[in-house]
Structure formats: C-alpha cells, structure tokens
Structure 1
Amino acid sequence: MSTTSGEPQDGTLISKKRIGDDPAGFTALTELLTAAGDTAEDPIPVAIETPRGLMVAAIRATGRPVYAINPMAVARYRERHTVARAKSDHADAMTLANILRVDAHMHRLIPADAELTEAIAVLARAQQDAVWRRTKASNELRSLLREFHPVFLAAFADKSATNLAKPEARAILAIAATPATAAKLTRARVTAALRRAGRKRGIEALAEDIVDKLRRPGLRQPDQVEKAMGRQALALLATLDAACTGADDLEQAAAEEFRKHPDHAIITSFPGLADLTGARVLAEIGDDRRRFADARALKAYAGTAPVTRASGRSISITFRRIKNDRLAAAGWVWGFSAAANTGPAREHYLRRRAHGDRHSAALRHLVNKMLGQLFYCLQNGQEFDPAKAFGQPITTTPEPVAA
C-alpha cells in the first residue's frame, strides 16, 4: 500500500506500509490515510485490483471512494515506467496510486449497489456456477457411460440426447451403474427408484419400459474393467447430484430475494425475463443508476454492441469479445426465450433473419435492442411497453427458432 502527495500532485511517495487482510491491517490503513490528510469531508480515494473481498467491503463502509482497476490495465501502466517487466507489491501499489493521481477520470468507482442487490448477485452467480458445474459433470458422466454402458444412455434418450441431470435418470443409474447390474433390475426396484426421484404419474409403464431397454444386448467391457468403470460412474454421479441440488436450492433462493427488489416488476415485464434470468441480469448491471453513462455503455458491457476497427481506408465491424461473460450468458438465455414465444420480440428476430442475419447474430441484435430498452425503463421507472419498444408488429409466417 502506498500513498502519493496531493499538494502538489507530483507523485511523491508520502508513506508506504505492508498490511494484512484483517482488522489490524484495516486499522493500519485508516491510520495511514488519516496521517496523509484523509478527512470525512475530503476522503482519499483508494485504488485496488479487485472489486470484492472483506477489505473492499470494509473500506467502502467508511464512505471512501474505491476504484477497482483491472489488473491488465495496471500491467499496462507499469510498462510506462519500466520495460524490464520487474514486479513487486511496492511497484504495484505505486502504480495504482499514480493511476488515480493522473487518470482518475478515466476509471469508475465501484458501483454503489444496495445491500439487497449485492445479496442477489451472490446467489445468482453461485446458481450460475452450479449450473455450469452441473453441465460439466453431466458431460463427463455421459462420456464415461458411452465407453462401457451405452445401453443406459439409449434407455433415457430424449430425441437426440440423454439428460443425465433428470432425477429419474440419476435415480436409476445409482442402482444400475454397470450393464451387469442393469440387466438384473426388477420392475419393483425401478418403480421404487422412480418414486424416490419424485415421479408421480405413469410410474408402472415407465418402469416396464426402462427394464426392457436396460436388458437389451450390447457390447461389454471385461468384467473387472466394467466394475471399475461402474465405481467411477458412481463417483461422477455423486458430483452431479451435488451440482443439481445446489443449482435447484440456489435458484429458489435467488428468485425469492429478487422478488423483494424494487426493480423486479420492471425487469420481469420484459419478454423472456423471469425470476431467475432477471436475477442474473440485475446481479451484473446492479441498481446504481450512475454505473452506466448511457445505453451504449450497457450494451458494450454485455457484449451485444459491435466493435468498429478503422485504420486508414480499412473498416471492419465485428462482435465484441471483451465483455461480462455472466451477463452475456444471461442475455443469450433471455434472447432465446423472447424469440421463441409469439410477440414483438419474435417478430424482430424474424425480421433480422429475413434481413440475412444468422441465428446467433439475430439473437444478439434482439438482446442489444432490449438492453437499450431496459436501460431506459430502469432510468425512468417504467415497465416494458411492447408498442413503444417495437412499434407496429409485422405479419410473417412463423418459423421455428434454431437451437
């Protein structure tokens, strides 16, 4: 940690000290800032490379302005003073202090979101992480079953793929981890497993169908290899069960907190935004109305606004790669849901498809448009109005949305 002088602003080092991420370290920080001229009326701004953590929360609670500087930006600033690529905590602290001294106007304060919004962000991001872990665990388990137990995958195949995250599939796999055990299953055991999984209707018919499919002949691994793979499958199944349970519990918790937020009615008034997706969007954009200067800034943050590169006579327009990945993922789900249902949003999607856009480009254009509308509605406290947002609907022949 380093502090530089403010009168005159010549970047002279006033003091430096190494502190810990604990109460003693926070006390040392406040004492150092006070000695440097920090007051309640004119607090000294703090630059740090992370927007979260206990130290950041403690500093923000004191009312001091906090700037979270991207580590890549810090590295570029460091290269202005040395090309040796030397790195140390002291040099990084000096770089952060000089960033605020010289270019504070080029950086933004950490958004002043409400406590409820920060809680929603924690739950929504955790739920999104759980979903990604669930997908990863499901893919790993499917890959393993394809090597030694393809009959099970075929038994639970839905159209072209097997959803191993379904409770019924996980319950049956727990008692049929190998082709040998699957072939010996009785209808009674399968029925009991389906009931434990929460199945309410059509249990007897489904159990009979599953037993018949699991008894179909197929290629087999050697016995000892098959048993070993079965143990591995059960281990992956335990990981998948935990991810599914976590995703479901966090989804409910995030939705409950989101319903308490004042922006809930505005966000969920948009087509394609329900409690979970709306909570994910709110978690990333926050409720600090000063966070984004305009709608274009929000669109760039979400990655829906294109990037124009101009050099001489060469001009190229490409999609944005640097973005908030969580908001971009939520935007994809938002756009797909909005375009799949009848309404102005789908009409706009079809218009872009007729214009020549591919599926992903049309969805991105739709989300880009709705993000601008969301920015306006949040700034003005208005709910979504399809007539104002999309104008007069067009007449077109519906076509299925590509997966």
Structure 2
Amino acid sequence: MVENVHWFVGIDWATQSHRVCLLNAEGGRLGEREFAHGGADLVELRDWLLEKTKAAPAQIAVAIEMPHGPVVEMLLECGFLVFAINPKQLDRFRDRFTVAGAKDDSRDALVLGDSLRTDPKAFRQLALDDPAVIRLREWSRLLDELQQERTRLSNRLRQQLWRYYPQAAELTDDVADDWFLSLWQKVPTPAAAAKASEKTIARILKEHRIRRVDAATVLQTLRKTALFVAPGTTEAACVHIRSLVARMRLVNQQIKQADAALDGLCDSLAAQGEENSSGQSYEQRDVAILRSWPGIGRIVLATLLTEAAQPLRARDYHALRALAGAAPVTRQSGKQRFVIRRFACNKRLQTAVHHWSRVAVQHDSAARHRYDALRQRGHGRARALRGVGDRLLSALCAALKNRTLYDANHRSAQAVSSQ
C-alpha cells in the first residue's frame, strides 16, 4: 500500500486552519506548518510539500482523520496518496507519544504521519468518487433530511389537531399527505366541516386520486362531536397549522424532486461504461445488478452506491459488513467470551441494509428461510434481520464479482439461507 512512499504527512484538520507535519521514511521530522482554510492556502500547502520533498505526489502519503472535504479532494486531485483513520484509533496511537493524555494540534499531526509510516494497515486509502456518485450521495442525504423534517412537521401538525380537531387526524395515518393538507385548508375547523358540502370534499379526493375513503365518510368523521375548547384556542391552532402546511407542501415537493434526481442519477450510472484491468467493458453494471436484488429500491440502492462506494468497488465483503454494522464484535478475555452487535458503523448504511433485509424476507424465499432459521434458534427480530443482511451482503459481493444478476436458484443466492 505504501511500498513506494518515501514521505509521510500528518494533517490535523480544523475549521479555520490545518496543522501539517512532514516526516521522512525514517520518521524524522522535516517540517511543520499551519495553513489557513482557503483556496490559495491549500495551493500553498501542496506547493510546500512538493518543494520540501522534491518528490512526485505519488511518493507522498498523507494521513488525515476526515475522509472527505476540500483538503482531501485537493490532495487526491493532485495525485497524493491520502489515507484516513478513525478518530478512536488515532486516540490509541496518541498514547505512544504521551501517557499523560496531553493533546494539541502539533502532536496530533505528528501522530498521524508517524502512525501511517509504522502501521499503514490501520488506515484506509481514499480515492476520488465518480462525479455522479458525489451528486447521488448529496441527494440521498438530502432526501433523508427532508423525510426527517416531514416527520417532525407531521408530529407538530398532529399535536395541533389534538388541541381542537382530533377527528380530522382519524382520516389518515399520514397527516402530511397533500390531499389531507388540501382538505384541512378547505375545512380547517369543526364549524367549517358542518357547513361543507359533500361535493366539495369529493372534488378534493378526486383531484388527489384518493379512493380508500369517500366524501360521505370524510364528512361523517369531521362532523363528530367537537371538543370544548377555550375561546381563541381554535384560532391560535389554525394560525400555527397554516404555517406548518406551507412548509409541508414545500417539503413534499422537494421530496418528489429528490426521488426523481435519485432515479436519474442511478440511470446515468447504469449507462456509464466501466472497464476492468484488461480494458474490456463489463456486460452488466453494478446498478443493474443491485436493482435485480429483491428488497433494493430507490433509497437502498442510492445508499449502497454512495455510503459504501469503495467496499462495493473492491467487492470487499468484510469491509462492507463491518461498515453496515452486520459484522458482530467478539470480546474475549480468559474464560469469558461475549459476542455483541456492532455499534461503530455507518448509520445510514446500517438502516438501508436493515430495510433491505426486511423487504427481502417478505419477497424472497431464501431470505425468509434464513430469517425463520434464526428465529427458531431464539434470536429476536432485529438480530435475525442482521443475520439476513449479512448473508445478503455476502451473496451480493459474489454476484458483483461474477457480474451476474440476482438468481434465486443460483448458489450465491441460496447461500443466504444456508447455515
């Protein structure tokens, strides 16, 4: 990994400035400087490293905690070898230099550079992602934020309805739906519901293509005996809800835009040509293979492609299962031995694999068989789904290596239900 490297750099990054320490192959400190966070200053950092080492960028290895950001992107773009490390691991390496717990930016930069020199296996080499993957990652994370915001607004709307109009919330489990927002704007109070016509309600339902409930049922529900509230309570709640409705409509619109963007970017990735080491184009694309698996929909697909881009590209099952939280953690000392779930993982990827497993159990016989076997052993639902997810990741890596679509009768798919 760092066989041809003769220079090692540790960067303790920060918001305003970055501390940089340069070491040679023997661990001697050749220089140390602080660079502000700015375009000209990062160019100065690059020039300083090249001037001090008189070497090509490919012969300089850089260690940093942050695996992404402008510093990492600039160094990778210029051809430097960049490696990232978990902050918890860095904290352990720091004990080599001081047992008193002392910590400062200069020492952290030295620890990063020297640890990369002596223990490169503890570091993860970084690479520039495809521009489409970068955009896909941003849209995926934005969609997650929008969905969380939608849930928060829904809870607040439901709380306001509880104050004066609880029967309205009985109409749907999702009060953030556009049809319910339109309905509330037309009949915001029990008094308005008493005067509303069935034709008006039917028009709203038809406009939003709602068939699970008819206008008569809606009016019957809204006209239930109203709560007795203090004067001014209904008006105050309506003021609050109007503000919520405006924001919820915007969030709903942005969620639709994010969904469309995810589909478009995944389609563009599927259309791109990918070449192997011998220069031959693969017949199948990773996106097409992922889409063929039961349980992988729009959100799970985007999360796998973005949050696990490097393990998927390397077909590294062990890195993938650890990153997704599917790999258990064993703690053994003397006669005591404990196996616990992994908490140090990518939470978004962990959630995606959980939902992938949950849906796969419903639609795939091999995953269902594996799930039932784990439940019969006494495992809980969450533990059984993690076991299914672990087997799915293993079979997926095999399919990616073989460049084959999902086949329920193939042995790699049947491995999900084995053991």
- TM-score (normalizing by structure 2): 0.82
Q: Structure 1 residue 163: deviation in Å?
A: 1.4
1:45 alignment partner, SS class:
strand
**Which blocks of at least 5 consecutive residues in structure 1 are unaligned?**
395-403
Deviations 1:178-223 (A, max 9, x none): 4444444333443444355x32x659x7223212211111323213
Q: Structure 1 residue 86: deviation in Å?
A: 5.7
Letter of the aligned partner of 2:123 in structure 1?
Answer: H
Q: 1:188 to 1:56 in 2, by over 3 A?
A: farther
Structure with more contact order per residue of length (Cα contacts < 8 Å, sep ≥ 6): 1
Q: 1:354 to 1:25 in 2, by over 3 A?
A: same
Q: Which residue of 1 aligns with 2:35?
A: 18
Query: Quick check: 1:69–1:107 contact (8 Å CA) kept in 2?
Result: yes
Q: 1:71 to 1:183 in 2, by over 3 A?
A: farther
Q: Which residue of 2 aligns with 1:175?
A: 186
2:75 aligned with 1:59: yes
Coordinate RMSD, CA, aligned: 2.8
Query: Quick check: 2:137–2:303 contact (8 Å CA) kept in 1?
Result: yes
Q: Which residue of 2 aligns with 1:29?
A: 45
Q: Distance in 2 between matches of 1:136 and 1:93?
A: 41
Q: Which residue of 1 aligns with 2:272?
A: none
Q: Structure 1 residue 258: deviation in Å?
A: 1.0
2:385 aligned with 1:374: no
For 1:98, which of 104, 114, 126 is the aligned residue? 114
Q: Which residue of 1 aligns with 2:406?
A: 384
Query: Quick check: 1:305–1:320 contact (8 Å CA) kept in 2?
Result: yes
Deviations 1:321-370 (A, max 9, x none): 11111111111111111111253222322233333332222211111100
2:35 aligned with 1:8: no
Query: Quick check: 1:179–1:220 contact (8 Å CA) kept in 2?
Result: no
Q: Distance in 2 between matches of 1:27 and 1:314?
A: 53
Q: 1:38 to 1:47 in 2, by over 3 A?
A: farther
Q: 1:15 to 1:334 in 2, by over 3 A?
A: same
Q: 1:140 to 1:5 in 2, by over 3 A?
A: same
**Which blocks of at least 5 consecutive residues in structure 2 are unaligned?**
1-18, 270-284
Q: 1:41 to 1:237 in 2, by over 3 A?
A: closer
Q: Structure 1 residue 250: deviation in Å?
A: 0.8
Query: Quick check: 1:47–1:96 contact (8 Å CA) kept in 2?
Result: yes
Query: Quick check: 2:24–2:30 contact (8 Å CA) kept in 1?
Result: no
For 2:249, which of 211, 221, 241 is the aligned residue? 241
Alignment of 1:156-167 (within 5 A): 156-157=171-172, 162-167=173-178
Letter of the aligned partner of 2:221 in structure 1?
Answer: K
Alignment of 1:270-309 (within 5 A): 270-286=293-309, 294-309=316-331
Q: Distance in 2 between matches of 1:40 and 1:68?
A: 21
Q: 1:369 to 1:83 in 2, by over 3 A?
A: same
Q: Distance in 1 between matches of 2:188 and 2:223?
A: 13
Query: Quick check: 1:271–1:345 contact (8 Å CA) kept in 2?
Result: no
Q: Which residue of 2 aligns with 1:222?
A: 230
Query: Quick check: 1:3–1:97 contact (8 Å CA) kept in 2?
Result: yes
Q: Which residue of 2 aligns with 1:398?
A: none
Deviations 1:55-100 (A, max 9, x none): 3222221121222333344444445444666654444433333332
Q: Distance in 2 between matches of 1:369 and 1:282?
A: 18
Query: Quick check: 1:3–1:36 contact (8 Å CA) kept in 2?
Result: no
